[in-house]
Structure 1
């Protein structure tokens, strides 16, 4: 039979001069030309379309076998969604899902759902990007359309040196919990304040979020953001006059601490480098340092290198803290050797162990001062220069 006829034409019961269309229930008189003409007619095409959209009768009434298979397929889909959500939440490499599936299937050989899982890294990536992320963004956008919120923005550069703008929404959810959720990641082609404003406005507009719901914005203290004439904050205030602008205090304090550290004698940095290099270059000295820490019952701390001109001033504090605690452990060991009745300085008359004081919640050896001075004193704060100086005085007494 001619494939153009679609398999619907058969011999008519009238006579040999007629053909019959099984779909249209119509007899066609004439030659093959008339038959093809009927196949191309609007009436025949409508019947073909109606037939393709018709659901078979056996699909209306689901047998127990069909229902059981449907429940099983739903269980597999639910497991794959949960697995992809767990990978995204725990920030696990998606490449690990291939080996993870193999381990799961070997651990649960009798579980049919586990054996049917097929969410490899490609499928897991698709679920996260096209299902979970899309649904999460829709729910977030629905909430922000009717509630006030703030955003945190920052530029970043990926491994291909392409600049992107990260937008985080900060809001209060229905349970009165403050949340910070990912709102958007957009490519930056214009890094000016006007360009960033357009990106933020477009991101909110695409999600249907009114700009009037924006209450505040946080960013770093770059001039493109905090400029008093054409800064990003100034431009956004044109749209939202009562917008609250908050710069990053960590960057400001880090820059202040960096310039303050430059006023310190260079010998301090050299002294710290010499201590770290002297211990790190010898496995024997490292073992002796570890024994001192164990003897003094303090937590084992690694000696860290420090760069005094780094904007990450916390590295200076970590390096100093490790060195100070190591010096304290050495002093405790020497004092024990000289006087067996010696009690460590941090016992405080309550038989408090050194490790309890030096590894307390205030960290880095300043916890024991809180019992005397109160927890709000600058001397007991972990990142307090006064605390480091006071503790250094105690060491040399």
Structure 2
């Protein structure tokens, strides 16, 4: 409540506002000091006697009741200190990078109970709702702005891959590559997670300069390179000079899968699959047999490696099982392990898998990768 008193009659002395009145029990709930421009308003003469008389009026009593309640609530709620806010933001950042969101409820209570001698820790109140708001409204805008500032007007490229979450919603995970002038090196970092329905140039580049996009790296799936609705096709409509770099590993997968379906004997996949199934429920597994992926032939190489390392032992095992248990499946597998041509079929994937692994490395030498790929093609052609 703002109270202004004008002097009546002869002024005896100039009365100034006293800050002590703000803490006085009679005035603190309704009296507010307001700085005014003296050139625009008359000078107000406020005396303690006048304030006391005003508190007794009916109009003041009715108006001050609600105001006193709200003022007491404001004083009761103590704003968090900067140290506490900084600690909560740091914990939220740590959890977002390393842990599940569910851990924030326990971590906040743990810090508060074990570091109660620390002013920042003892006032921490961090739960999932607050944690989510910190990430969404504070950390995310900060890092997005920082990333755009770091990229500035430089050219950049993006790496895109499709992902499906538990709700079967299709997303595009996007990584950006650009030259960081402060660090003096090329940086690859997370850019965005975009729903496929909103997959357009603006959504993918989060308001970066679209004409600075020079390249896009994807696998060869139809959703990425499809002629009609592929991600690359949509971006190409806005950026005519856009360069597409397909994933070498995915191309190798497709090449080996096509070659395997046309040249390998049909019983090879059966042998790998049933060898895994034989040991799946076993309680004695000195060296686990790896399950082969049904859609990617290069993933079979890991399972093949385990089988090759134990070829003689497996052949002996299935031979014993055939005789002792009279098991027909063991007899079929034993006959396959006896056939040396199956051993030759399994060994051909080793050099291909070696090259594929080198392309998946984060510290690989590009010139060496090219030589490895050329040597692989030449060795197969011979």
TM range (shorter): 0.5 to 0.7
List alignment gaps of at least 5 residues for structure 1.
Answer: 1-5, 15-21, 28-68, 191-195, 291-300, 332-361, 364-373, 387-397
Alignment of 1:206-355 (within 5 A): 207=207, 209-223=208-222, 225-226=224-225, 233=232, 236-237=235-236, 239-263=238-262, 264-283=264-283, 286=284, 290=286, 301-307=287-293, 310-327=294-311
Pairing 1:8–2:14 present: no
Normalised TM-score (structure 2): 0.56
**CA–CA distance in structure 1, aligned partners of residues 162 and 282 of structure 2:** 43
How far apart, CA to CA, are the structure 1 residues paired with 2:2 and 2:97?
Answer: 54
Q: Secondary structure of the equivalent of 1:319? A: helix
Normalized against structure 1, the TM-score is what?
0.54
What secondary structure, in the 3-state scheme, does the structure 1 residue paired with 2:132 have? helix
CA–CA distance in structure 2, aligned partners of residues 276 and 244 of structure 1:
43
Q: What's the offset of the Cα at 1:223?
A: 4.7
Report what 2:324 is aligned to: none
Distance 1:7 1:143, change over 3 A: closer
How do 1:185-224 residues align onto structure 2 when only pairs under 5 Å count? 185-189=193-197, 196=199, 199-201=200-202, 204=205, 207=207, 209-223=208-222
Deviation for aligned residue 1:316: 0.5
Contiguous gaps of at least 5 residues in structure 2:
10-32, 35-40, 45-77, 316-353, 356-367
2:93 aligned counterpart, secondary structure: helix
Moved more, 162-171 or 142-151: 162-171
Equivalent position of 1:179 in the other structure: 187
1:66-215 → structure 2 map (5 Å cutoff): 73-90=81-98, 92-174=99-181, 175-189=183-197, 196=199, 199-201=200-202, 204=205, 207=207, 209-215=208-214
Alpha-carbon spacing, 1:116–1:314, altered in 2? closer, same or farther (3 Å): farther
Deviations 1:362-397 (CA, angstroms, capped at 9, x unpaired): 89xxxxxxxxxx99778x99xxx98xxxxxxxxxxx
Q: Check conservation: 1:97, 1:119, Cα contact below 8 A.
A: yes
Distance between the aligned counterparts of 1:281 and 1:239, measured in 2?
55
Q: 1:10 to 1:222 in 2, by over 3 A?
A: same
Measure how far apart 1:232 and its partner are. 5.1
- Per the TM alignment, residue 202 of structure 1 is displaced from its structure 2 partner at its CA by 5.5
Q: CA deviation at 1:322?
A: 1.8
Q: 1:138: how far off?
A: 0.6
Structure 1 SS opposite 2:125: coil
Q: Give the CA RMSD over aligned residues.
A: 4.1
CA shift digits 1:202-227 (9 cap, x unpaired):
554x63x3222111112333456535
Q: Deviations over 1:144-195 (max 9, x none)?
A: 33211012234444433444444332112122322222333344437xxxxx
**CA distance in 2 between partners of 1:216 and 1:134 (Å):** 26
Cα deviations by residue, 1:329-385 (Å, 9 ceiling, x for unpaired): 889xxxxxxxxxxxxxxxxxxxxxxxxxxxxxx89xxxxxxxxxx99778x99xxx9
Q: Distance in 2 between matches of 1:248 and 1:226?
A: 12
CA distance in 2, matches of 1:243, 1:203: 14
**How far off its partner does 1:95 sit?**
0.9
Compared with structure 1, are the counterparts of its residues 159 and 112 closer, same or farther at alpha carbon in structure 2 (3 Å cutoff)?
A: same
Contact 2:159 / 2:216 at 8 angstroms: preserved in 1? yes
Q: Deviations over 1:227-284 (max 9, x none)?
A: 568865456445444322112333332222222232422322222233333333332x
